[in-house]
Structure 1
Amino acid sequence: MNDSSTTTPVPAAPTPSAANASTTVLVVDDERENLEALERIFAREGFRVLTAESGRRALDVCRAQRVHVVVTDLMMPGMSGIDLLKALETVAPDAEVVLMTAYGTIETAVEAMRAGAYDFVEKPLKRMQMVKTVQKAAERHALVAENRTLKQELSALKSGSGGVRPIIGSSPALRRALDIAYQAAPSTANVLVLGESGTGKELLARAIHERSGRGGAFVAVNLAALPETIVEGELFGYEKGAFTGAVQKREGRVAQAEGGTLFLDEIGELSPQVQVKLLRLLQEGEYEPLGGRTRRADFRLIAATNKDLRQLITEQRFREDLYYRLNVIAITSPPLRDRQGDVPLLVDHFLEVYCRKNGKPRMELAREALEKLQDYSWPGNVRELENVIERAVVLSRGATLTLADLPSQITQAERRGSDLSFSMGTPLEEIERRVIRATLDHTRGDKQLAAQLLGISARTIYRKLADLNEPDAAE
């Protein structure tokens, strides 16, 4: 049960600032009257305001989009404000949290601050005090984010890596791939990353390297981008005078990856001659630079391809023994069409990146535009989505991206259906879970409509989700 309170009326607010307009505030309260009052207050101040009537719903909102400040009631049924605060450490660790309560004891305040709350506000709320508290929380969020960005840029400058893009998403397909990647990371086993072009295979490889504990560098080689005549020299290096034009000694990528990870992208493009040398390297742990003597090597190999290596083996274009050396642990990087729920998160990330890069204020995306992006099949995967958002940011004249800012192949695409397939022996519980989840994705979370499509009651949907430990089970 919530502590009863009302918001103290005050005179009209001053003109909203530009900083407020770039801040998203999530208000969480199980009493509709308080929720609407706070929504009006923050909206007048120019904040972008989201609302949630429960802690669980608040977590769903934070999973779907970026939130800067969370203003939450302390006493709520199901999940209290303190419980929500602790859960946000995982779901939205960057968000600043302001707690509200009529029971403002010192003990509760201390517990909230220890748990990571930015501030603690007693009811009845005073409008200007509330606004100033949220503004200060937003300023702290901005300072922490700026500090983190500066540290990342400094680290990138020191390493010469140019920075590493994070893996964004929480869909089941992506989680399964990441689970395997993180399990494999501490081992020395070779990893083969499979998947379509643009799905982020190199990001998975980098994630494995970062968690491997290896102190050496991550060295990436796109074999498809190298002329066949120079691949051997690029990988294994050469001595001065080894061939015409070799005017000085050169270390190969294998040597550069000593103590670290060698990532060979598009491994299916490797010529038969170089396949033999790579096989020897993996079997014996040694290789010969062109014109040089045998050298030992210590590195972790991760290979990637968007081709069917088994088909290449059948066509005698890829060595079967090399395939089995590479395919110790296989990970499939899922296509974006199987990660529909990740599209809003990716869009939010790319909007922030390209608004900052092009010196524009933070833009928002109209709901109908987001729906079109989610309906599109994305044959070019995440890379195509990134290009679409960059184009929209550059060409848009407004603060909100609309359907008019999207390419015609997206706006004119028909809403796609969802085809499910299951391997023989898949447990019925897993089949049921995937069918329910796919139907909810199709109805955009509308459980009543999902129940009608499945021929069951909405109550059954809730019960099934609870039995399967799905996050939508209770709100």
Structure 2
Amino acid sequence: MTEIHKILVVDDEKSMREFLEVLLSKEGYEVSNAKNGKQALKMIQKNNYDLVLTDIRLGDITGLEVLRKAKKKNADTVIIMISAYSTTEIAVEAMNEGAYDFVPKPFDNNELKQTIKKALELKTLDQEKERTSSELRDNMHFNRIIGKSPGMQAIYKRIKQVGPTKTNVLITGESGTGKELIARAIHENSHRGDKSFVVVNCGGIPDTLIESEFFGHVKGSFTGAVSDKQGLFEAADQGTIFLDEIGELSPILQVKLLRAVQETSFKPVGGTKEIKVDVRIISATNKKLEQEVIEGNFREDLFFRLNVIPIKVPPLRDRKGDVGILAKHFAEKYSEKMEKDIVKLSSYAIDFLNKYSFPGNVRELENLIERSVALSSTNIILPESLTISMHKKRRWIEGIKGQRFDLDDVEQGVDLDEILSIIEHGYLKKAMEIAGGNKSKAADYLNLSLRSMRYRLDKTE
């Protein structure tokens, strides 16, 4: 049976009380009302309300006093303040006293209903958390990974399945989605959890050094090799090696890595002795590795060796419900780190974040919250605290037929030849339209020779 939430509306305007009572009753709530603060306090002492919706100005005592007394009687009661005389100072004071949110009059009916719904859902979640705290922690947190969305729940399940095995894993997903955290979680949930977890950024080591970094070298094997050096694969023996940005490996290194994976052994650069290791390999990439195989940029046999168990990490824009949880976590993290007392993010700030697509994923959200905590002059992160980054100008390039190319997408990987071809085709077509089909005239508009114009038109047809 569904629980019916009890709401108390407190307002000195009769018409407002009656309006809110009708509005909220239609939503299925059990609604009572009080005409002033003193009456509200008497009702609060006699009854347990899930939520109190109170105006700031009540004619006798203030809504802030109602807030304090209601919280004193029952800390779990959700308080939402409303007022036509709102200021940032009052909003901050109300939230410091424990208000869930502050809604200015005149308010949008649907937004108010949504705020109340979210507040009561959060209250229910908090109560459920107390009853089944360990289970909820497992659902929302897995090692250092945070998220309760279906996509993340599926990943938690997969980590539990593959963790205890020796199988190689390939993690794919956009930059900033937390692929290394997932790799660490797999390692920590394996029998190797107390052994080494070695991280290698395959895109951050020059080709001339990467073989030596992977497999080590012997003294005198090349200029500068003044002593023997242990490679990262040997350092990871009995543990896990995490090959981040695996798609950046050169073809030559792919061959050497394939042999090491197949034989579980290798020779250091300049060495003759085979070194045997027991290493689990977890790889990650933001590239479409299957496409790289098709295009001949990545070895198919190596791909199949690494991609025994695939894990695809969803972008933050597809993780419904996780933005608020992550934002709260980062606010707490950086509040403590900067020795600030950030109490919470307002529900409007959370809504503001939920409307943003986060092309940089969790990493971008973390940077945004860190910046907001650093610059915030209040204990509450309000929407205006987020506008520094949220309203940054997006750098778009327009193509033909309405295509828009976002320069910030470069971080996730783009097909430059395709983009340039589309833009070129758009300019050629527009110039021909203006020139009435005259190629010589169109060439002048684009500062091209007639020969170059003809070549480009033939290429795009």
Instruction: Say yes or no: TM over 0.5.
Output: yes
SS at match of 1:225: coil
Overall identity of the aligned pairs, in %:
44
Count of aligned pairs between the two proteins:
298
Within the candidate set 354, 373, 378, 1:398 is matched to: 378
- 2-structure distance, mates of 1:179, 1:33: 38
The answer to whether the aligner puts 1:212 opposite 2:257 as a matched pair is no
Deviates more, 1:242-251 or 1:37-46: 37-46
Q: Deviations over 1:157-216 (max 9, x none)?
A: xxxxxxx98100110011112211221111111100000000000011000000111142
Letter in 2 for 1:39: K
- Identify if the C-alpha distance between structure 1 residues 232 and 347 changes in structure 2 by more than 3 Å, giving closer, same or farther: same
Aligned to 2:347: 367
- 2-structure distance, mates of 1:235, 1:62: 51
- 1-structure distance, mates of 2:226, 2:129: 64
The answer to whether the aligner puts 1:48 opposite 2:62 as a matched pair is no
Deviation at 1:242, TM superposition (A): 1.2
Bigger radius of gyration, 1 or 2? 2
- Identify if the C-alpha distance between structure 1 residues 283 and 307 changes in structure 2 by more than 3 Å, giving closer, same or farther: same
- Identify if the C-alpha distance between structure 1 residues 45 and 205 changes in structure 2 by more than 3 Å, giving closer, same or farther: closer
- Identify if the C-alpha distance between structure 1 residues 200 and 178 changes in structure 2 by more than 3 Å, giving closer, same or farther: same
Within the candidate set 245, 251, 259, 1:266 is matched to: 245
Whether the aligned pair in 2 keeps the contact of 1:376 and 1:413 (CA below 8 Å) is no
Deviation at 1:409, TM superposition (A): 5.8
Within the candidate set 158, 175, 179, 2:157 is matched to: 179
Whether the aligned pair in 2 keeps the contact of 1:192 and 1:330 (CA below 8 Å) is yes
Aligned to 1:327: 307
Q: Deviations over 1:79-116 (max 9, x none)?
A: xxxx87542332259xxxxxxxxxxxxxxxxxxxxxxx
SS at match of 2:222: coil
Q: CA RMSD in A?
A: 3.3
The answer to whether the aligner puts 1:275 opposite 2:254 as a matched pair is yes
Whether the aligned pair in 2 keeps the contact of 1:59 and 1:91 (CA below 8 Å) is no
Aligned to 2:206: 227
Q: Deviations over 1:304-334 (max 9, x none)?
A: 0000112211221110000000110000011
The answer to whether the aligner puts 1:381 opposite 2:361 as a matched pair is yes
Structure 2 gap segments, 5+ residues each:
4-46, 53-68, 80-93, 102-117, 395-461
Aligned to 1:167: 145
- Identify if the C-alpha distance between structure 1 residues 60 and 243 changes in structure 2 by more than 3 Å, giving closer, same or farther: farther
1:331-342 matched pairs, under 5 angstroms: 331-342=311-322
Deviation at 1:38, TM superposition (A): 4.4
Aligned to 2:136: 91
The answer to whether the aligner puts 1:61 opposite 2:122 as a matched pair is yes
Deviates more, 1:323-332 or 1:37-46: 37-46
- Identify if the C-alpha distance between structure 1 residues 32 and 392 changes in structure 2 by more than 3 Å, giving closer, same or farther: same
Deviation at 1:363, TM superposition (A): 3.6
- 2-structure distance, mates of 1:60, 1:34: 11
**Structure 1 length-normalised TM:** 0.57
Deviation at 1:62, TM superposition (A): 6.8
Whether the aligned pair in 2 keeps the contact of 1:403 and 1:411 (CA below 8 Å) is no
- Identify if the C-alpha distance between structure 1 residues 317 and 84 changes in structure 2 by more than 3 Å, giving closer, same or farther: closer
Structure 1 gap segments, 5+ residues each:
3-30, 52-56, 71-82, 94-163, 415-475
Whether the aligned pair in 1 keeps the contact of 2:246 and 2:283 (CA below 8 Å) is yes
The answer to whether the aligner puts 1:287 opposite 2:266 as a matched pair is yes
- Identify if the C-alpha distance between structure 1 residues 314 and 230 changes in structure 2 by more than 3 Å, giving closer, same or farther: same
Within the candidate set 148, 166, 173, 1:188 is matched to: 166
- Identify if the C-alpha distance between structure 1 residues 387 and 288 changes in structure 2 by more than 3 Å, giving closer, same or farther: same
- 1-structure distance, mates of 2:339, 2:294: 52
